[in-house]
Amino acid sequence: MSNAYKNAKVDLTATTVTTLYTCPTATTAIVKSILVSEDSGNADTITVTITDADSAVFSLFKTKAVSANATTELLTAPLIVEESEILKVTAATANRLHVVASLLEVS
């Protein structure tokens, strides 16, 4: 069994659903942190979902507020992401939010 520390980063330049992280085959990921940074000086909101291997979508954060020029930690406990599951993020407004997830992949 091998462990690999990783981060996944995305600049939300549009208001479309954007993949932040896809868990590889034969792997489980432990997501320790999801940071959202607002850099335009305007408060905004973000939606975070997880899509399972059967394409079912589950909401983790629905229109979570992020203050102007602030960074928000979304997780208060680790999040387990299983093989083929996808973390997706959506900004309410384009070009305001950056998202960084810190995780450990176990395969």
pLDDT digits over 58-91, tens only? 999 999 999 999 999 999 999 999 999 999 999 9
Q: The pTM is what?
A: 0.95
CA distances from 64 to 32, 43, 47, 89, 100 (A): 18, 11, 6, 11, 16
Model pLDDT, residue 1: 80
| Rounded percentage of the chain residues whose pLDDT exceeds 70 | 100
Cα–Cα distance measured from residue 100 to residue 35, given in angstroms and rounded to the nearest whole number:
5
Which one-letter amino acid corresponds to residue 98? Answer: H
Tens digit of each residue's pLDDT (9 = 90 or more) over 11-47: 999 999 999 999 999 999 999 999 999 999 999 999 9
Mean pLDDT of the chain, nearest integer: 97
